[in-house]
Amino acid sequence: EMVSAREISVSSTSGSRPASKDAVINLDHGDPTMYESFWRRMGRQGDITIAGWQAMSYFSDVTNLCWFLEPDFAHEIRRLHRLVGNAVADECFIIVGTGSTQLFQAALYALSPPDTTEPLNVVSAVPYYSSYPAVTDYLRSGLYRWAGDASTFNGDTYIELVCSPNNPDGSIREAALNSKNGKTIHDLAYYWPQYTPITHAADHDIMLFTVSKSTGHAGTRLGWALVRDKVIAKRMIKFIELNTIGVSKDSQLRAANILKVVSDGYELPICGSEHRLFNYGRKLMSVRWQKLREAVKVSGIFSLPEFQSALCKFTGEKAETYPAFAWLKCEKRGVDDCESFLRNHRILTRSGRHFGMEPKYVRISMLDRDETFDLLIERLSSLH
Ligand code: PMP
């Protein structure tokens, strides 16, 4: 049977709990509500208090190139990268943004020559994160424009977006293009130990991270960029000045504490293993992926990507990849539109079309709350 738009808007679960057994479950967005259970368990440690008179000024640190970056937040970012070993942060400029979404736009601005007659081409290999084309083109900039799939792009000057592990399919990626006039932005939102083995410390010109996918605080809207070159860093900062005159200090103070609690969980001897975010996330993801693979097998009509395991330098153990999204392919004959097929079974997903692929693929969030995830498994298993 068909599910009406009204029914979806009334009973979908994004941001709230599923109302009932037959509620529509919304796994279209990558809303990381899975992490609420960890932060509940951490109790008061995650809390902060901001006095009425505090954090009022526009400025955070006028001695820093990024004058709106809270020093405590910068300190905890460097500390966390040192602990996890996922990126070389010490020699870089740190730029804070309202989500990595703002930083992505700041990077496009910074990398585009200001005096061009033609907009610079922005590319990413398919399947690419669906926001890249949308965010690149929504203002019809004269500086840059979306040019599609990097793997079929011909040209010498471009900006390539490299997302690794990749949203939507979880693959580990390197730049597809290699021209000396080309620029790259590395989106490392998912390069954290709960999703993938940490095989090396990433060391690229522009690297983007976000609390949304690392600690689950998507609503705090904070990301950070690690930038090597001072001129590029300055232009990114200029963009944020023009766009929002800096970034919420309240959010930065909260995020600084959240990152501190994560690092403390590993570095303070008084903390037990239940205080370790990445262990917690990894365990949950491994159980979920096992359940998902089982359900997909039972259904007999879908397939999922496979991943190689590798040694994780953070945990010291061989680890598998457990992506934040399931990139599900419908193998059932006669079903070309997997998104509609699943919508009719009250599961909202995002069509492969948005990622530059065929509609027999869909992306499903793996980061929702337990009760939503369990409904997904129940429904997929019953589709055979
Ligand atoms: N990059 C990737 C690859 C993402 O998946 C997301 C979130 N879906 C973002 C960036 C945006 O993150 P933020 O919430 O920090 O804007």
Residues 234 and 280 in one domain: no
Which of 266, 222, 247 has its CA nearest to residue 81?
Answer: 266
Residues 108 and 224 in one domain: yes
From ligand 1's centre to the CA of 213, what distance in Å? 7
Q: Characterize 145-175 residue by residue with b for buried, 16 or more Cβ atoms within 10 angstroms of its Cβ, and e for exposed.
A: bbbbebeebeeeebbbbbbbbbbbbbbebeb
Residues 192 and 129 in one domain: yes
* Containing structural domain, residue 232: 71-266
Residues 314 and 201 in one domain: no
Which helix (H) or strand (E) is 120 found in, with range? strand 120-124
Alpha-carbon separation of residue 164 from 98, 190, 208, 321 (angstroms) = 21, 7, 11, 12
Residue bearing the CA closest to ligand 1, atom 13: 99
From ligand 1's centre to the CA of 139, what distance in Å? 19
Q: Of how many residues is the chain composed?
A: 384
Q: What CATH number did the domain enclosing 366 receive?
A: 3.90.1150.10
Cα angle: 364, vertex 368, 374; to 5 degrees: 85
CB of 129 within 6 A of ligand 1: the answer is: yes
CB of 124 within 6 A of ligand 1: the answer is: no
Residues 220 and 288 in one domain: no
Instruction: For ligand 1, pick from 131, 188, 367 the residue to mutate: most ligand atoms within 8 Å of CB.
Output: 131
Written as one string, the DSSP assignment of 300-344 is -SEE------EE-TTTSSEE----SEEEEEE--TT---HHHHHHT
Residue bearing the CA closest to ligand 1, atom 6: 189
User: What atom in ligand 1 is closest to the CA of residue 100?
Assistant: 15
User: What atom in ligand 1 is closest to the CA of residue 129?
Assistant: 3
Name 21's bridge partners: none
Last residue of a domain, one of 245, 266, 287: 266
Which of 99, 139, 136, 122 has its CA nearest to residue 225?
Answer: 99
Q: Are β-strands 159-163 and 183-187 bridged in parallel, bridged antiparallel, or unpaired?
A: parallel
Q: What is the CA 281 to chain-centroid distance, rounded?
A: 15
Q: Looking at the 3D structure of the chain, how many domains does it have? A: 2
Instruction: For ligand 1, pick from 166, 167, 251 the residue to mutate: most ligand atoms within 8 Å of CB.
Output: 167
From ligand 1's centre to the CA of 384, what distance in Å? 33
Q: Are β-strands 222-227 and 206-210 bridged in parallel, bridged antiparallel, or unpaired?
A: antiparallel
Last residue of a domain, one of 237, 266, 295: 266
Q: What CATH number did the domain enclosing 160 receive?
A: 3.40.640.10
Residues 286 and 141 in one domain: no
Residues 254 and 321 in one domain: no
Q: Is there a contact between 89 and 78 (Cβ–Cβ < 8 Å)?
A: yes
Structure token digits, residue 156: 């010498």
Last residue of a domain, one of 247, 266, 285: 266
Residues 166 and 285 in one domain: no
Looking at residue 85, what is its pLDDT? Answer: 98
Residue bearing the CA closest to ligand 1, atom 3: 167
Residue 360 lies in a domain: yes
Taking only the tens of pLDDT, the chain with its 384 residues reads 344 554 444 445 556 666 578 899 999 999 999 999 999 999 999 999 999 999 999 999 999 999 999 999 999 999 999 999 999 999 999 999 999 999 999 999 999 999 989 999 999 999 999 999 999 999 999 999 999 999 999 999 999 999 999 999 999 999 999 999 999 999 999 999 999 999 999 999 999 999 999 999 999 999 999 999 999 999 999 999 999 999 999 999 999 999 999 999 999 977 677 789 999 999 999 999 999 999 999 999 999 999 999 999 999 999 999 999 999 999 999 999 999 999 999 999 999 999 999 999 999 999 999 999 999 999 999 997
Q: Is 49 exposed, middle or buried (0-12, 13-18, 19+ CB in 10 A)?
A: exposed
Residues 342 and 215 in one domain: no
**How many angstroms separate the CA atoms of 9 and 14, rounded?**
10
User: What atom in ligand 1 is closest to the CA of residue 163?
Assistant: 3
Q: What is the DSSP letter of 54?
A: S
Residues 210 and 93 in one domain: yes
Q: Is there a contact between 150 and 187 (Cβ–Cβ < 8 Å)?
A: no
User: What atom in ligand 1 is closest to the CA of residue 223?
Assistant: 15
CB of 299 within 6 A of ligand 1: the answer is: no
Helix residue spans in the chain (DSSP H): 5-11, 36-41, 71-84, 99-111, 131-137, 211-214, 230-244, 249-267, 277-299, 338-343, 370-381
What's the pLDDT tens digit per position in 47-62? 999 999 999 999 999 9
From ligand 1's centre to the CA of 189, what distance in Å? 6
